[in-house]
Each structure stands twice: as structure tokens, then as C-alpha cells.
Structure 1
């Protein structure tokens, strides 16, 4: 790859290809300050230019950039010399954070079952911790099953040897045991056939279930649970195997289970006769579900399908991992976006706003019925569970819960105001805007596919695969509005501002989106590109 240079002449060595893409789309600006719902970029003359931030750190700054209470808390912690690196010691602040999370989760789910907390740094790491724990649980359940199968072989052998049970002809015929072997010899031959068969089946690699359109991270394991093929394909040989379930398709759940289910053969004795019965064993390690698919185009899980997933997973004993990394922490008006859907997870992953826009932290919660304490020894993270991030997260929860949950109410109210703006644009430009989706302050605006547009310049933009980024570049350049498309649905722009969103910023967004739609309606692709064609 040819080395490029920045404006200062310094070689571009920090992801230079991405820098070029940002330049092409008109998004390669430097932000120098942030507060509230505003980022300030550096202009050509060095001046600060305010930008209304509707991207919100991909949902990380629900409370706004540099919330004064969080900044004050951070300064106090650093001034006091709080230990950031005190691994393998007591962490009472982490325990307080786990307890506070439990209190809110219990209220929303209507349960008192404890959820144990494993802390991490990023959302993807929290997902990895959840699926690692689920696999450890599955392996330990398989070990119990292996023991039960071995015990059944031994107890059946004793019954046959003692003359208390016989191997009937139908069973001999079923497994091809020919000749006139006595019962003891016939049983030994049966066991010699079945035990290695069971062993091979139990050694089968785990399968994960996830929804089409889902996004669960880009690390070695989590990327294979993310539906976007372009993210998964280069790393397919590294990690997990997933089966992706179409959204809102309960029949697909049964079809996948029937096709992939695993069974072993177990010996029983009934009425003095040996028999062999099928027992299902856990092939499916976990089902990962986002209540709102952020990167997949802001699709909201319906309560009906949430109920189908809950029932299905209970029937096959498959734990549910509810990925609340982008949707959770109050963005939709509750701590868990899944709780109003009636979906109860065995695992929850939380991140983004948990750090208040300052600390980099995440949490994985496991309900008591699933928890394996052995996991605490085989999994760890250098930067997790420290005093700084935990106390910041406690401050975030305090702010969310203050005044009987005023932030939750504000998220719903500001979300409704944002939705009204987006709905108004769609109503006036139905040929350009296909659909508005989402809940609270997590909304998406999907534009119609422009690959067949009458305008050659618009068709060219659509053909780049960066259509949504050019739309975002236009909003930034012409209207000082910042947003991005969702990662796996590039025709959908995301809107995840903070609760400090103002009516003036909504008006700015309204003007920008209407101008953008008028340019699309006029087939003015050159205007959408603007100076971005030569930037970067």
C-alpha cells in the first residue's frame, strides 16, 4: 500500500485507508472539543465550528459529552489517586456496581434472582465473555451427561450379568447383532457400538443462534456471530459456528433445531428387557438477540417474536444472551430495551453509556441459575473492574435513576420529538425515504435503494457501496449535522443523540434532511458529493 501524508506532511500510518474513505465521503474532519450534544470541528482558519451530534458515539453518550457531574467525578478520582491497576484484590466498588445493576434489572424484570457480573472494557469483549461462559456451562453439562451415560452402561451391564435383564431380539436386530450370542455377549457388543458413537457426537462443535441483521462485535469469536458476511468471511476458520435466524420467523427456529439437534443413545432397563433410547444433548450454546438491531438498520424485535424465542430456548435449554450494548442503559426509556418486550435473558451485555462517555467499560450479567463460578478463574481482563471505571459507572446509574428516573422519561420525550421530525420528512419525501424505525433515542431512517435512479450521478453514488456515508457527508458539510449510516445497512442513517438534544438541533436536522431529500429528488448527485470529491 502506498503511504499517504496528512495535511501537516506526517505519513498517514493510523488506518490510512479508512482516512481516505472518510475523505471521499466528506467526513474527514478533526473534532477538537465536545460538550452536551455538540462536537466542535476545527475549521480551515482554526476556528471552532459547532456540529449537532446525532451519532452520539455510536450510542455511548446518552447523557451528553462531558456531563459535568461525570467530569467532576473523574477529576476527583484522579486527584485522589484512585488505583486503576490493583488486579487480584478486593474490588468493593465493582460489587456496588453489580448490586446497583441488579436492583434496576430486578425492577424491570420483576424478579429477585441475582445476576452475577463479569466486567470488561468493550461491548465486543462483554459478548465474548458471555459466549465463553455459555460454552463453559455447556461443556460442564455435557460432562454430567457423559457421566450419566457411563453410569447407565454399568448399571445395565450388572443387570444383564445378574440375569435380571435380557437383550431382546428387536434390539439385536436394530443394531445388527447377529448369531446366537448370549445376553452378556450381546450387551457387550451393543455397548462397544454405542459408546464410541456417543463420544463422537458429544465432541461435536457448539452451534450458536443469532438473528439475521445482528451485530455483536468484530473480535475473533463475536465477529462470527455478526450477520454481515463481509465482516465474517475473512475469519471464518477462526472461531464459532452460527446459524442465523430470519427476523420475525418462528418457523425457522423449529426448522434449524430439527436439522441441527444432537442426540445420544442411552441404555435403560424396563420390564426385564434392555432398551436404548434417544436423549437430546446441548448442541446450541447460546442464542444472541438484540432487542433493537443498531448496526443492522435499527430493526426492533416484536414482543411476539421475543416470546417465541423465549419459549423455544426454554424448550431446548439454550441460554439467551440479550445484547443491550447499543440499545440499553436508558436510551429507549428503560435500562433494558428488552424488558418492555417481555424478553428475559440468561445473560445481558451492557456497555457504551455505562462509561458515561468517559470511561471505557462494559459488563456481562449472568443469572444465578446459569452461573459457573469456575469461570472467574479461566477468564480475566487487565483493565476491567478498576476503581475509575466502576465509580464512573456508578455515577451514571445515579444520574439515570435520579428524580424517579427523569432521564428515562426525557429519553422517551426527546425520542418522540426526534421521531416526529423523521416521520415528517418521510411524509413529505416518500419517494426518497422508505421507512423510520426504532425506539426512544435510537432511531433509523432508511432511504430507498438508488441503484436504479434516473440520475447517473446518483446511481454512481449508490454503486460505490458508500451511499449512506455520502449522505452523512452532505449533512455534515452543508448543515453541521453529524450522523452515520448503520454498519450493515448502508442505506439507513442512525440517530442516537443524547437526552440533551435541543429543539434548535432538531430544527437543524429537519432542514438538513429536507435539503438532502430535495437533492436526491432532483438527481443532484454532484451536490451530495460537494467538495468531498476532491477531499482527503
Structure 2
């Protein structure tokens, strides 16, 4: 009787979940159509209509309709914005309809060496001919080589790297490293800052500050305390008070410049003073360089501006050269050695894969050989100066232009103005966006390869948009 019921249930499941041959054939035809337009260099009018309609419909029905509503708020006439199609040189991209945009968002900081940088693309294509992913069991050479390169270019005694696929994973790795290293000393608490953004997985979200992101998922990972960014006195008092009540701090995690917080540049001596607090109380300093690293601010890593050597550093975004996703957490031997006895204590299937490592190695080559950090410093100085010249005429709506290198923020009096400016620039073929925690600040974060003429075009367009507002 049991056997018969099982057979009946199996037949029912087949009927319920198995694709009908007609549906299967339809899906195969659909995938062929999609693969066909992927392989095309140019699109005809039917292709454009198909891609645009499919994209909007699929986001509405299968991805998240909230993205459509967001795009409507920052584009002209309430349309759903453009549908991306392909890159157009190092600093621009083209939508399906053929309109070109100067990229002043840079994928939230991933395109430091430009869109489809030829050397990065060449390395990835070459590696793809050998092997895309690794077996997980044998030693893979590019992971070791990339770790060596990072040890050479990062400040201080940072030496050992663990590779993941994103900034969030890098922060998760940093938190776990700090926990395992400091737990034996009875130190279990962390300090992060108001305005901080460190990711949205459960651990990294515990360090992130925005209530809108945090509240739906509470309670988060315990043991995180908050201080105001840039306030050394509050940092010291919080560390000392925590020590006095037996809640000793394991690590302090900081962005060298708060990115999503609104491109907030701290006082120049802030990091050095925080580092001194760390040394006085035996606390680890975690530098979250996910957005500020890889030449963005005019140095290879932003902490170099402050003369500080962290115990742990997080990298991602631009590390993959705008071609492949990769994140890294790098630590000193003293800290990372906690992972030595059992290298499987913290792993990820795709982290450190050959394609991503090839992209990162090529990215480091471009940054060093083309002096990209120095270029970012020079172009950033020019761009910030020109943006300030424009915005001085609109002091009633513009509060400040600030930044370092090519990590620039323009803060307005309110969120509404920020959205209007983003929309106006988009209509003129320039992509910018607000910051996630401080929406009244828009970021100007172009590839480090941006040309002077493109900076001038952006400034002229900004002048016209602000004049209309």
C-alpha cells in the first residue's frame, strides 16, 4: 500500500512539475533568441524593442518592480530610463537606443581602470582559454600570485589574503578574523560609525549604520557599538567606557572616506589618532577600502594619505578591473594565522577563481604601469576645482563640493534637489547617483581614465541643470 501511494505521488509530482514538451520547446526558442542578440555587435529596431520590453517586463515580474519605480524618479518624463547595452570606450556606455552616457557613477566605484580595459579583458580571455574555475582541491597559481601582489602593494605588514566575490564578503571575513583573534583575549565587541556602509549581509549589516537597511532584519549580530565618524573624543570615551565595564573592544572598522554616507572626508589626523587608541587598548583596526582602494583617492589605498597601517583591510569593487567580481580581506600574519591550523574554517566556492584573479592581476598592472593613482589625484584636483566654480553660483541649493582624488560628492540642501540634479544630468547623457545613506549628496565617481574634456562637459551640464532648478 505504501509503495503504491509513493508511485501515485511520484506520478502526481511529474505531472505538476515536469515541463510540457510544448513549454520546453518554447523556452529553448526563447533562449536562442536571447543568445542571438547577445552575440550581435549591432541591434536592429526589432531587437531594440524586444530587449527594452523584455527588460522592463522581467524586472517587474521576476526581479523587483521597486527598481523600475526608482528609475522613474530620476529620469525624464517618468520613463523607465535606458536599458544598458554596451560600453563605449573607457569612460562611457551606450544604451539600447544608441544614446551615449559619460559614466560619473562608475558602477559605484568598480571602473577605476575604465570600462572593458583592454589589458584586463585580454587577461581574462586568455585565462578563459585555459580554465574558468578551479577544482577547489589542487593549488591554483593565480590565487597565490595575486595574494603576493597585494602583500607587496598594501601598507605595513598586511600579508595574507582571503578572496571572495564582493565587498560584503570581505567585511564578513574581516569580522570573523577579528573575532577569532581577539576572543582568546576576552575581547568580543566592535565599534563602527554613524553613516558607515559595510555591506548588507547579516554580519556586515551589523556594522552598517542606516536604520532603513537594519530594522527589518533585527536582531543583527550582537556586539556592535556606534560612534560619530570623525569624532576622536567620542571614540576614546567609548573604548575606555567599554573596557571599564568588561565589554572590551576587539576591533574598530572604518572607511577612510565614508562613501555611501555622503563622501565624508574625516579630519586629516583622525585615522592616526584612532590607530593610537587601538594600540593603547590592544584593538585591531579594520580599514574598509572597498570603495576607496585601488587608486580612487589619489593613492593606491586611502589610508596612505593618513600614514596609517591597518591590521586588516577589505578590498573589492575596482579590484576586478570592472570585468570580474572579486573581493579580498588582507591581514597581518599575526591576525591571519588564526586560519592556519584549519584553512577550511572560512571558505567560499567561487572566491579566488582563476578568471577573477587574472582580472585583478591585470588591474594591478594597469594601476602601477599607467600611474593611475597619480592620475586620479591630478584629475581629481582639477575636477573638484571646476565643480566648485560652477556651484558657487548656486549657494542657495548647493551646500558643498568635497572629496579626494576622483571620489567626489556634491551635497545639496535636500534629497529632492539631489534627485532633480541626477535626473537633469541623466537627460544630458551623464550618469550620477545619490549615496545610499545620504541621498541629498550625489557622487561623482568616474573611471580614473576620465579625460579633461569630459570633466568640462560634466561641469557645463551641471551649470545648465542647476540654472534650470
> Normalized against structure 2, the TM-score is what?
0.83
Bigger Cα Rg: 1
Q: 2:161 aligns with which of 103, 111, 117?
A: 117
Offset at residue 254 of structure 1 (A):
2.8
Offset at residue 103 of structure 1 (A):
1.2
Q: Deviations over 1:58-115 (max 9, x none)?
A: 01001110011111111111123x141321321221111111111112xxx3x4x352
- Tell me how far apart the structure 2 counterparts of residues 367 and 230 of structure 1 sit (CA, whole Å): 35
Distance 1:428 1:219, change over 3 A: same
Partner of 2:100: 50
Aligned pair 1:471/2:438, yes or no?
Answer: no
Partner of 2:430: 481
Does the aligned pair in 1 maintain the 2:289–2:314 contact within 8 Å? yes
Offset at residue 140 of structure 1 (A):
2.8
Q: 1:7 aligns with which of 33, 49, 53?
A: 53
- Tell me how far apart the structure 2 counterparts of residues 85 and 91 of structure 1 sit (CA, whole Å): 7
- Tell me how far apart the structure 2 counterparts of residues 437 and 427 of structure 1 sit (CA, whole Å): 13
Does the aligned pair in 1 maintain the 2:239–2:248 contact within 8 Å? no
Offset at residue 294 of structure 1 (A):
0.7
Partner of 1:526: none
Deviates more, 1:65-74 or 1:467-476: 467-476
Q: Deviating runs (4+, > 4 A) in structure 1?
A: 8-11
Partner of 2:441: 492
Does the aligned pair in 2 maintain the 1:117–1:365 contact within 8 Å? yes
Aligned residue for 2:184, secondary structure, equals helix
Partner of 2:348: 381
Offset at residue 262 of structure 1 (A):
5.5
- Tell me how far apart the structure 2 counterparts of residues 251 and 407 of structure 1 sit (CA, whole Å): 36
Aligned residue for 1:7, secondary structure, equals helix
Aligned pair 1:251/2:236, yes or no?
Answer: no
Number of aligned residue pairs: give it: 408
RMSD (Å) for aligned C-alpha atoms: 1.9
- Tell me how far apart the structure 1 counterparts of residues 429 and 402 of structure 2 sit (CA, whole Å): 23
Does the aligned pair in 2 maintain the 1:298–1:494 contact within 8 Å? yes
Aligned residue for 1:381, secondary structure, equals coil
Offset at residue 221 of structure 1 (A):
0.8
Partner of 2:379: 414
Partner of 1:524: none
Aligned residue for 1:85, secondary structure, equals coil
Partner of 1:79: 129
- Tell me how far apart the structure 2 counterparts of residues 374 and 472 of structure 1 sit (CA, whole Å): 51
Does the aligned pair in 1 maintain the 2:134–2:140 contact within 8 Å? no
Offset at residue 363 of structure 1 (A):
0.7
Q: Deviations over 1:431-483 (max 9, x none)?
A: 22111111001010101237xxxxxxxxxxx3xxxx53342122111x11100
Does the aligned pair in 2 maintain the 1:302–1:341 contact within 8 Å? no
- Tell me how far apart the structure 1 counterparts of residues 419 and 138 of structure 2 sit (CA, whole Å): 46
Aligned residue for 2:63, secondary structure, equals coil
- Tell me how far apart the structure 1 counterparts of residues 299 and 219 of structure 2 sit (CA, whole Å): 38
Q: Deviations over 1:198-253 (max 9, x none)?
A: xxxx8xxx321012211100111111111111111112213233222112222212
Partner of 2:284: 319
Aligned residue for 2:99, secondary structure, equals strand
Aligned residue for 1:119, secondary structure, equals strand
Distance 1:449 1:23, change over 3 A: closer
Distance 1:244 1:217, change over 3 A: same
- Tell me how far apart the structure 2 counterparts of residues 514 and 318 of structure 1 sit (CA, whole Å): 47
> Normalized against structure 1, the TM-score is what?
0.73
Distance 1:519 1:310, change over 3 A: same
Gaps of 5+ in 1: 1-5, 143-201, 264-279, 451-461, 521-536
Aligned residue for 2:372, secondary structure, equals helix
Distance 1:125 1:324, change over 3 A: same
- Tell me how far apart the structure 2 counterparts of residues 33 and 499 of structure 1 sit (CA, whole Å): 19
Does the aligned pair in 2 maintain the 1:303–1:342 contact within 8 Å? no
Aligned pair 1:28/2:81, yes or no?
Answer: yes
Deviates more, 1:250-259 or 1:508-517: 250-259
Does the aligned pair in 2 maintain the 1:221–1:240 contact within 8 Å? no
Partner of 1:195: none
